[in-house]
A and B are shown apart, each in its own frame.
Chain A
Amino acid sequence: MNTNDLIDALARGAGPAERPHWRRKLAITLATGLVVAVALVAIWLGVRPDIGAARMPIMWKAIFSAAAAAVVLPLTVQLMRPGRPLGWRIGAVVLFVALCALATWIALMGEMPERRWEAWMGGSMPWCVVLIPLLAAPAAVLLTLLMRAFAPTRLTLAGAAIGALSGGVGAMAYAMYCPVDSVAFVTTWYALGIAVSAALGAVVVSRFLRW
C-alpha cells in the first residue's frame, strides 16, 4: 500500500480525539489496587491484633508508604507518554532514598548500641521485603493495563516506575499487618521492599508494556 493512501485512510472520518482522562483513570487504578491489597491483608495475613492501640504507628507507616508512592508518581506519569522530560522527577526519587538512609542512621544512633540490631532487623527476618512486592501485584497489574492504553516508549524505566508505585501502594496495606514499629526498620525494609517491586517491574512489567 502506498503511504499517501494510508494517510488518506487514517484521516478519513477520524473525527475529534477522545479525551484520555488519564488523571481520573490513574486515581481509580491506584485506589482499586489499594483496596485489593488491603483486602488481601485482611483475608490472608490478618490485621495485627492490637490495631486499636497501634493506630499511630500504623498511620505513620502508611503515610511513609504513601509518601514513597507520591515520590514515584510524577515519574510514572511522565513515562506513560512519549518524549516527556524526566528531570527533577528522578532527583526526587534519589532524594527520597537518601532521606530514608539518613533517617535510618539517625534512628539507629538514637538507640542503645545493644538494641540497635533488633531495632534495625525487627527481631526476626524482615518479611516485608517479600510481602510488599506480593501485595503490590494487584496494583501493578492494573497500572500495566492502564499504561498499555497510553504509549510508553522507555519500557524498562516505565516498568520500574510501575513497580515502585505499586510497591508504595502495597506497603500502605502491609502497614496494617506489620508488627514492627521501629523507625529504622521501616525506613530500611519498607524502602527495600518497594525497591524489590521496582526491580521486578523493570524485568517483568516492561515485557507486557510492548506495543
Chain B
Amino acid sequence: MADEAALRALLLKGLAGEEAAHRAFLTEAAALLRAYFRNRLRGRAEDAEDLVQETLVALHTRRDSYDPNYPLTAWLYAIARYRLIDFLRRAKHRDHAGLDGHDFGEPDPEYDAADAKHDIKVLLDKLPEKQRTAIRMVKLEERSVRETADATGLSESDIKISIHRGLKTLMRLMAGEQAT
C-alpha cells in the first residue's frame, strides 16, 4: 500500500486533471478503506464493501475539499470515519440492537475488491434524467464529455455539473439503500 507522500502525489496529479493518477489514487484509497472498514465491521464484509464504495464516491466528489497544506491521510480517514458513523447511526435507527446482535467473527484476511450489495445501475434510475444520462454516457458507456454534450445537445460544463451533482446524490442513495 502506498504511503502518505505517494498517495498525496497521486491525488494532487488527479486534481490537476491526470486521469490515470486519479484512478491510481482511488485504487490505493480503496485498499486503505477496505482495511479500515473491515476492521471496524468484523464479519460484515458486505457492509464494509458498501462503505468502501460510498466513501470512494465521497472522496471523488469532495476531492476539492483537500488542502495540500494538510496531511492527506487525516483528510481521507476523517471522511471514512464520518461515513462509518453515518452508517452506524442508520443501522441503529434500523434495529435498536445496532452492532450488539452481530457476530464479531475474525476479520477477513482477503482485502480484495469485492462486489457490494447495491447495484449502481439500479440506483441510477432514481436520479433526475439529465444527471442519469450524463453519468451513464460518460462513466458507464465510456464516451467523452464532448461526445455526450453533442449527443444530448447540452453544453460540456452542463454535463460536468450534472455528473458531479448526480454522483453526490448517488452517494446518498447508496447510503440510504443500506438503511432500508
Contacts and interface: CB of A to CB of B under 8 A. Distances in A.
B44 interface: no
B65 interface: yes
Interface residues of B, number: 54
Contact of B82 (A13, A14, A84, A153): A153
Nearest to A148: B168
A151 B79 contact: yes
State the main secondary structure of chain B at its contact with A: helix
A112 interface: no
Contacts of B86: 210
Contacts of A20: 64-65
Contacts, number: 117
A10 interface: yes
Contacts of B65: 20, 80-82, 150-151
23 contacts: A1-B120, A3-B115, A4-B113, A6-B120, A7-B27, A9-B140, A10-B57, A10-B167, A11-B20, A11-B23, A15-B160, A17-B14, A17-B15, A17-B63, A80-B65, A81-B66, A83-B70, A83-B74, A83-B76, A84-B74, A85-B74, A151-B58, A151-B62
Given A1-B116, A10-B57, A15-B145, 5 more contacts: A1-B115, A1-B120, A3-B49, A16-B16, A84-B74
